Amino acid sequence: MSIGLPLKRVDAEAKVTGSARYTDDNIMLGMRHAKYVRSNIAHGKVLAIDATEALALHGVEAVFTHEDVPATCFRTAGHAWSLDEAKRDVKDRRLLTDHVRHFGDGVAIVVARDPLVAEKAAALVKVTYEPLPVMTDAQSALADGAYPIHPSGNLLRQSQLRANDPEQAIAAADLQFQAHYRTPVVQHCHLETVTCYAYMDQPDHIIVVSSTQIPQIVRSRVAKSLGLPWSSVRVIKPYMAAVLATSRMCWKSRWRRF
Residue 126: what pLDDT? 97
2 pLDDT higher than 60: yes
pTM over 0.85: no
Pairing verdict, β 205-210 and 233-236:
parallel
Q: How confident is the model at residue 92 (pLDDT cuts 50, 70, 90)?
A: confident
Q: What is the pLDDT of residues 6-22, one digit of tens each?
A: 888 888 899 899 999 98
Which pairing describes strands 196-202 and 205-210: parallel, antiparallel, or unpaired? antiparallel
- Mean pLDDT of all residues in 34-42: 95
Distant-in-sequence, close-in-space partners of 257: CB < 8 Å, separation ≥ 6: 198, 206, 208, 222, 226
Share of the chain above pLDDT 70, in %: 89
- What structural domains does the chain harbor? 1-29+186-253 (3.30.365.10), 31-136 (3.90.1170.50)
Rg (CA), the chain: 23
pLDDT in tens, 51-70: 999 999 999 999 999 998 87
